[in-house]
Amino acid sequence: MRTGIATVCLSGTLEEKMAACARAGFDGIEIFEQDLVTSAMSPEEVRSRAADLGLSLDLYQPFRDFDGVDDEQLSANLRRAAAKFTLMGRLGIDTILACSNVATATRGEDDILAAQLAQLAGLAGDHGVKVAYEALAWGRYVNDFEHAHRLVQAVDHPNLGTCLDSFHILSRDWDTAPIENLEAAKIFFVQVADAPKLSLDVLSLSRHYRVFPGEGQFNLAKFMGHLARTGYDGPVSLEIFNDVFRQSDVTRTAVDAMRSLVWLQEQGAAWLASAGETERLPLRMATLPRVPEPTGFNFAEVKAASTPAVETLLGQLGFTSEGRHRTKDVQLWTMGQARVVINEAAPEGAEPAISALGFDVENPLLASSRAQQLLAPVVPRKSQADEEVFQGIAAPDSTEIFLCQGSADGTAAWTSEFGPGAAGRGGRRPGAVIDHVNLAQPWQHFDEAVLFYTSALALEPQPFAEVPSPTGLVRSQVMDTSNRGVRLVLNLAPLIQQGDGVHKSYQEHIAFAVDDLVATARAARKRGLKFLDIPENYYQDLAARFDLEPDFLDTLRELNLLYDRDADGEFLHFYTATVGSVFFEMVERRGGYDGYGAPNAPVRHAVQYGQRHSSP
Ligand SMILES: O=C(O)c1ccc(O)c(O)c1
Ligand SMILES: [Mg+2]
């Protein structure tokens, strides 16, 4: 499949955008008019720059508000078109995108629209270029792809075809199956975009919230399947208008973009296979090594220059020190099946932070190969000849993800590299497991992280939530596996105003599940654990919301426990104080409770905020 991207997706100058697209491996690009108009490069320079970079210039866009106008406006529009067709000759671009009129159209009859488009096609023919007519979802008279295609067929001119853009179809919840009825030879160009489900008018959604495929909620696998079935084999190009991408690092965004097209091809091919398609279709969508979802967390790692504070917290929670690694500056702590590695190889002064996660997978080498084909950066980890070699990749927030060999009994072979007694520990003995890990995502990388964990690690994004905090709503995105062996919660790291400056408050946590939270909390308190102090108002509210036994409520209050209940079960949990940017959570899931105590998140945020602001 020929991959493409519109320059409007990226930040920076046209030169920077072109270089980033080439580096990320795109076949071609769409030149967005604004990028050319504001560029210091002449059209000829753009053309030769693209040739040097090995990028084809596949589309010039957009040409606006041509159709459905009165006669006077039509001549002006044709004059404007002629100028653009001449420019395309200088750029060496053979196709221009004309979007359906959103502003100046006064005449919506199909025969008038077709007659005007016929004139445009004739003029394009004279210049040796083609016009791809696109129905914008908010077009005045033409706003659906089938209508645009009917007009193109009515005109029946070799220089007029349509441009399909997944956004304009899926943002309106239309079925994509009728795409199969389109004539492939009349599809001149295809744009793909994803978007979250927001109740917003389509224009605002389109201009600000489009995201790369896999980062939103559109069914693009199905779109690609139907598209492939038409016989289309031209470029599939990303056209993402997004306020965040347009101010983030261009190189990085281009890689995120390319990852989305690698993933999209696999999804499209998988959709076709599941729909029973056996024919080899012209749109050749590349596949990837298929890997099953991870079965669980193998370990979590906290890195710090000075580790006593973390050791103290773990000890108070009931973890046992399993000694130090034979050759590395790391310690292993376990509680039941939960393993926490404390990595001391941190730069001087580095505060404790979550640095790595290990996922149990069926085949680490295959999983790593898949991740690398999805452009995940590899992280090297030194190991001696007789030590387990970890396959590591870097997540967008630079958390290191290690793909570990899972085992049926929950043990990990690498633990034998630690002090005596560690081997065999941390197996499936009663005690604890890592329930979930909550990672704060920098605002520029949130969508990228969703795609990364979806595509490279087979986690499923759940609908995102917004949690009230003292500094605004915190976007919270659960990503998990179907058996809930791995649960990751991505939170948008809030920006905190402190004094004159704004800085990011990074608080991330590892949560462990135990069978008896009350007993765990009592034992931890005996060992001197400082709990996150929950205000009395919270317990009054709990009593109002749930009809709890007074004794049980007293126990919750006494131990600073939080509580939630839904139709499936109950949830008890507590938090430790924060060291560096890390804190820990202990949870008990009763019955089929599958959530994370979301109603309690605001009180946690508020108490942590209060602590930050009262500490010197
Ligand atoms: O929002 C727009 O104006 C616009 C322009 C060009 C496109 O291809 C498109 O899908 C939208
Ligand atoms: Mg478009």
Residue with tokens 């043990």: 411
Taking residues 428-449, what's their average pLDDT?
87
Q: Does residue 341 contact residue 356 with C-beta atoms inside 8 Å?
A: yes
- What's the pLDDT at 501? 54
pLDDT at residue 427, as a whole number:
44
Residue 502 has pLDDT above 90, yes or no: no
Residue 497: band (very low, low, confident or very high) from pLDDT cuts 50, 70, 90: low
pLDDT of residue 498: 54
pLDDT tens readout for residues 37-58: 999 999 999 999 999 999 999 9
DSSP string, 435-446: EEEEEEE-GGGH
| pTM across the whole model | 0.94
DSSP string, 522-584: HHHHHTTPPBPPPPHHHHHHHHHHS---HHHHHHHHHHT-EEEEETTEEEEEEEBPPBTTEEE
pLDDT of residue 65: 98
Percent above pLDDT 90 for the chain: 85
pLDDT band at 615 (very low <50, low <70, confident <90, very high): low
What is the structure's pLDDT at 465?
Answer: 86
Angstrom distance (rounded) from CA 377 to CA 398: 10
Q: Is 241 helix (H, G, I), strand (E, B) or coil?
A: coil
d(C-alpha 11, C-alpha 161), whole Å: 30
Determine whether the shortest distance from the Cβ of 134 to ligand 1 is under 6 A: yes
Q: Which of 45-49, 66-70, 408-412, 511-515 has the lowest mean pLDDT?
A: 408-412
- Report pLDDT for 294: 96
Beta bridge partners of 300: 340, 357
Please give the distance, rounded to the nearest whole angstrom, from the Cα atom of residue 62 to the centre of ligand 1.
7
User: 334 pLDDT exceeds 80?
Assistant: yes
pLDDT classification of 89: cutoffs 50, 70, 90? very high
Average pLDDT over residues 434-452: 95
- Is there a binding annotation on residue 165? yes
The pLDDT of residue 430 is 57
Run of H or E residues at 120: helix 110-127
| Residue 65 near ligand 1, beta carbon < 6 Å | no
The answer to whether the annotation marks 436 as part of a ligand binding site is yes
Q: How far from 408 is each of 404, 421, 598, CA to CA, in Å? A: 13, 20, 32
Question: 509: annotated binding-site residue?
Answer: yes
pLDDT at 496 over 70: no
Closest ligand (CA of 192): 2
- At residue 463, the pLDDT reads 85
Higher pLDDT, 388 or 541: 541
* Å from CA of 193 to ligand 2 middle: 8
Q: What is the CA(227)–ligand 2 centre distance, in A?
A: 16
Strand partners, 588: 572
585 is in an annotated binding site: yes
Question: Could you give the CA distance from residue 238 to residue 318 in angstroms, rounded to a whole number?
Answer: 50
pLDDT of residue 426: 44
Q: Whose CA is nearest to atom 9 of ligand 1?
A: 136
Asked whether residue 60 carries a pLDDT value surpassing 50, the answer given is yes
Predicted confidence (pLDDT) per residue in 110-151, tens digit: 999 999 999 999 999 999 999 999 999 999 999 999 999 999
From the CA of 202, which ligand is nearest?
1
Q: Name the token pair of 332.
A: 């292993």
Whether 183 has a binding-site annotation, put simply, is: no
259-274 average pLDDT score: 98
Give the residue among 238, 183, 189 at the shortest CA–CA distance from 215. Answer: 238
Mean pLDDT of 192-218: 96
**Mutate-to-test residue for ligand 1 from 32, 61, 97, 99, highest number of ligand atoms within 8 A of CB:** 99
Average pLDDT of the chain is 93
Residue 579 confidence (pLDDT): 93
Average pLDDT over residues 329-352: 94
Q: Are strands 508-514 and 501-504 parallel, antiparallel or unpaired?
A: unpaired
All structural domains of the chain, each given as residue ranges with its CATH number in brackets, are 3-274 (3.20.20.150), 296-613 (3.10.180.10)
What is the average per-residue pLDDT within 282-289? 96
Cα radius of gyration rounded to whole Å, the chain: 28
Question: Is the pLDDT at 385 greater than 90, yes or no?
Answer: no
AA letter at 116: Q
Pocket flag, ligand 1, residue 564 (CB < 6 Å): no
What pLDDT score does 471 carry?
A: 80
Q: How confident is the model at residue 518 (pLDDT cuts 50, 70, 90)?
A: very high
Checking ipTM against 0.95, whether it exceeds it is yes
Mean pLDDT confidence for 408-436: 73
In this predicted structure, the answer to whether residue 493 has a pLDDT above a threshold of 90 is no
* C-beta of residue 439 within 8 angstroms of C-beta of residue 490: yes
- Higher pLDDT, residue 507 or 494: 507
397 touches ligand 1 (CB under 6 Å): no
Q: How confident is the model at residue 158 (pLDDT cuts 50, 70, 90)?
A: very high
- What's the pLDDT at 611? 82
Is the CB of residue 136 below 6 angstroms from any atom belonging to ligand 1? Answer: yes
Band the pLDDT of 505: cuts 50, 70, 90: low
Count of CA atoms in the C-beta half-sphere (13 A) of 495: 8
For the CA of 64, the nearest ligand: 1
User: Phi-psi region for residue 165, left (φ > 0), alpha (ψ -120 to 50) or beta?
Assistant: beta
Mean pLDDT confidence for 550-572: 97
Among all bound ligands, the one having the nearest atom to the CA of 191 is: 2
Q: How far is the CA of 31 from the centre of ligand 1 (A)?
A: 13
Say what the pLDDT of residue 486 is.
96
Please compute the mean of the pLDDT values over residues 430-440 and round it to a whole number: 91
Atom of ligand 1 nearest to the CA of 97: 8
183 alpha carbon – ligand 2 mean position (Å): 19
| pLDDT higher than 90, residue 439 | yes
Question: Whose alpha carbon is nearest atom 5 of ligand 1?
Answer: 62
Q: How confident is the model at residue 614 (pLDDT cuts 50, 70, 90)?
A: confident
Pocket lining: 204 vs ligand 1, CB cutoff 6 Å: no
pLDDT at position 425: 47
